[in-house]
Amino acid sequence: MSWLPLLVGLAAPPAYLDPGSGSFLIQLLIAGALGAALAIRMSWSRIKGFFRRKESPPPDSEKHGE
Amino acid sequence: MGSSVRSGASFRDPSGFLFVRDGTLFRQVNPSYRATFDQLEQSGLYADLVEDRLLIPHTLADVAPAEPMAAALVLRPDPVAFISYPYEWSFSQLQDSALATLDIQQRALAHGLSLKDASAYNIQFHRGRPVLIDTLSFEVYREGDPWVAYRQFCQHFLAPLALMSRRDVQLGQLLRLSIDGVSLDLAVRLLPWKARLNLGLLTHLYLHAASQRRFAGAEVRTAQGTRRVSRTGFLGLIDHLRRTVAGLHWDPGRTDWAEYETMHNYSPAALESKRRLVAEYLERARPSSLWDLGANTGAFSRMASERGIATISFDVDPSAVETNYRSVRASGEVNLLPLLIDLTNPSPAQGWHHTERLALQQRGPADAVMALALVHHLAIGNNVPLPQVASFLADLAHWVIIEFVPKSDSQVKRLLAAREDIFADYDVEGFERAFSGAFELRHHEPIAESERTLYLWEKR
């Protein structure tokens, strides 16, 4: 991650867009749940991927099996 | 060195602006943005986005800036053949632009950056695909901050897409009314009650609109405060928006125009004759750009685009434009852009000082226009006198390929079925007289087995 040190001390240019108070605050409200949902979905697909890998033969043997 | 003209659409963001000098478009980067700009390149995000055709490529330009006192760099972005606006896009064009924006945002976050705006006007169709044209749209991501462009994304993309999908596709035209998308307040009032049952729409439109009403003008200081949006929460928000947008559908269905190509009054020989003449005229005029007016689903536009001509298919029917775009997308066509335009009321100049969004005519001229089976709709369907049809086309292009459809044709008879024929000048002589004012006749030939004639005119 060679770009990380560049972030340190970087002065952010001012945001020009008005995010809107309501649009800002609702994100605080919903982001936790949406983040959790994403995390669950990702670990679920990881679990499924783990078992699928175990069940199916490795791709190499498929290639040579014909 | 010629004088620089600053773009009228480029003033909101103090990071830089666009200017045109000697016909070339440049982007000045201001010193306040220099460090972030370097970050875009050094993080690898620029290369990643350009490689996957999500961001317009640029080169560093060795030219004097337009405003030297406030300049850090000057960029020369790759030119986009035609600037189009979201109210000229079909449902899938707007949807693909929304998904491209979210894709860019996800990649930006992976590189430590984030989109600081999510305007639909920052997306353009370049060689068949939606790309971000505003290179200065990024900021360094600070964990804890909510997405500053969340409201803009919902107004520019999600609200119009939901209305088009769940209420009526024509509501995409609401984008033409307001410069900053469709307000969420209006969107939720127009959506059917059932839309609340979609979790994404409930969250990002209904609850979002309620939050805007509840907290209007409330003070928010979150970056240093205790209440924050975690990185996972931020990613969850973007992912959920993506799933919500991707879950919206609109089916072009069967309208008169989308089916036109299978139900017009041409015999196979007539169609073949028309195709042969169009090909001949294209060879003769050799345009590098062509606007096909009343293009329907683009069958004749493709005769131009497949010859490498930068072609735009304009049509008034959302189903025809949608069908056309889906073909472009499916076969990866790069020279054809389908757009929704009502020629009797084309996109006007609008926004601040009438310069933010250009009128259709200001975005021309093209080398050639093609108007096949169109003139009777303008002259009889919309009562435009033929000399005014000619002067309109003369403003749009140098060459005109136009089909004259006489009163004896069954399609014209249909237009006149329920109304009085007040069009005494609508005949071949009247047509040729009207066009001879601004144009020189290069060729005309009857289309076999039909009442129609195909003309090639060149501007004097």
Q: Give the residue from chain B lying closest to A31, CA to CA.
A: B233
CB contact under 8 A, B116 and A32: no
Give mean pLDDT, residues B162-171.
Answer: 98
> What's the pLDDT score for residue A49?
87
CB contact under 8 A, B140 and A27: no
Contacts of B216 in chain A (CB under 8 A): 21-22
Give mean pLDDT, residues B202-214.
Answer: 97
- What's the pLDDT band for B260 if we cut at 50, 70, 90? low
- What's the pLDDT band for B435 if we cut at 50, 70, 90? very high
> What's the pLDDT score for residue B67?
86
Q: What is the SS3 assignment for B9?
A: coil
> What's the pLDDT score for residue A13?
63
* pLDDT tens profile B305-351: 999 999 999 999 999 999 999 999 999 999 999 999 999 999 999 99
Residues B133 and B56: beta-carbon distance below 8 Å:
yes
The closest CB to that of B203, out of A11, A22, A30, belongs to A30
**B41 at A interface, C-beta within 8 A:** no
> What's the pLDDT score for residue A62?
43
CB contact under 8 A, B12 and A16: yes
> What's the pLDDT score for residue B259?
61
The CA distance from B383 to B380, in Å, is: 5
The CA distance from B291 to B314, in Å, is: 7
Distance between start and end Cα atoms, chain B: 32
Question: Which residue has tokens 């969850």?
Answer: B236
Taking the CB of residue B130, how many other CB atoms lie within 10 A of it? 24
Query: Which of A 1-60 lie inside 8 A of B, CB atoms?
Result: 2-4, 6-7, 10-17, 19-39
The CA distance from B146 to B230, in Å, is: 8
Question: Which residue has tokens 């003139």?
Answer: B375
**How many angstroms separate the Cα of B249 from the Cα of each of B95, B198, B238?**
9, 13, 19
CB contact under 8 A, A35 and B44: no
- What's the pLDDT band for A64 if we cut at 50, 70, 90? very low
The closest CB to that of B233, out of A14, A16, A31, belongs to A31
Give mean pLDDT, residues A39-48.
Answer: 90
Give mean pLDDT, residues B222-237.
Answer: 80
Query: Which of B 83-112 lie inside 8 A of A, CB atoms?
Result: 111-112
Please report the ipTM that was assigned to this predicted complex.
Answer: 0.87
Contacts of B227 in chain A (CB under 8 A): 28
CB contact under 8 A, B39 and A15: no
CB contact under 8 A, A21 and B218: yes
CB contact under 8 A, A28 and B44: no
Mode of pairing for the β-strands spanning B366-371 and B289-293 = parallel
Q: Taking the complete model, does pTM exceed 0.90, yes or no?
A: yes
Contacts of B270 (CB under 8 A, 6+ apart): B447, B448, B449, B450
* pLDDT tens profile B54-95: 999 999 999 989 888 888 899 999 999 999 999 999 999 999
- Is the pLDDT assigned to residue B269 strictly greater than 90? yes
The CA distance from B214 to A39, in Å, is: 30
The closest CB to that of A3, out of B32, B39, B215, belongs to B39
Q: Give the residue from chain A lying closest to B214, CA to CA.
A: A22
The CA distance from B108 to A27, in Å, is: 19
* pLDDT tens profile B356-381: 999 999 999 999 999 999 999 999 99
Residues B158 and B204: beta-carbon distance below 8 Å:
yes
Alpha helices per DSSP H over B22-69: 34-42, 45-51
The closest CB to that of A16, out of B13, B142, B236, belongs to B13
Task: Write the single-letter amino acid at B410.
Answer: S
**B116 at A interface, C-beta within 8 A:** yes
Contacts of B168 (CB under 8 A, 6+ apart): none
CB contact under 8 A, A19 and B148: yes
Contacts of B139 in chain A (CB under 8 A): 12-13, 15
> What's the pLDDT score for residue A7?
40
* pLDDT tens profile B22-34: 999 999 999 999 9
Q: Give the residue from chain A lying closest to B184, CA to CA.
A: A23
Contacts of B457 (CB under 8 A, 6+ apart): B399, B400, B402, B435, B439, B440, B441, B442
Distance from CA of B209 to the nearest CA of A (A): 8
User: How many beta-carbon contacts under 8 Å exist across A and B?
Assistant: 138
> What's the pLDDT score for residue B219?
84
Give mean pLDDT, residues B390-395.
Answer: 98
The closest CB to that of B116, out of A2, A15, A38, belongs to A15
The CA distance from A14 to B247, in Å, is: 35
Residues in a beta bridge with B19: B6, B26
Mode of pairing for the β-strands spanning B24-29 and B336-340 = unpaired
The CA distance from B38 to A19, in Å, is: 25
CB contact under 8 A, B35 and A10: yes
User: How many Cα atoms sit within 13 Å of B92 on the Cβ side?
Assistant: 20
Torsion of CA A40, A46, A50, A56, to 10 degrees: 110
CB contact under 8 A, B212 and A23: yes
Distance from CA of A48 to the nearest CA of B (A): 20
- What's the pLDDT band for B220 if we cut at 50, 70, 90? confident
What angle is formed at CA A43 by the lines to CA A37 and CA A49, rounded to 5 degrees? 135
The CA distance from B3 to B21, in Å, is: 6
Higher pLDDT, B328 or B222: B328
CB contact under 8 A, A25 and B44: no
User: Best residue in A1, A26, A41 to probe B by mutation, most B CBs within 10 Å?
Assistant: A26
> What's the pLDDT score for residue B397?
98
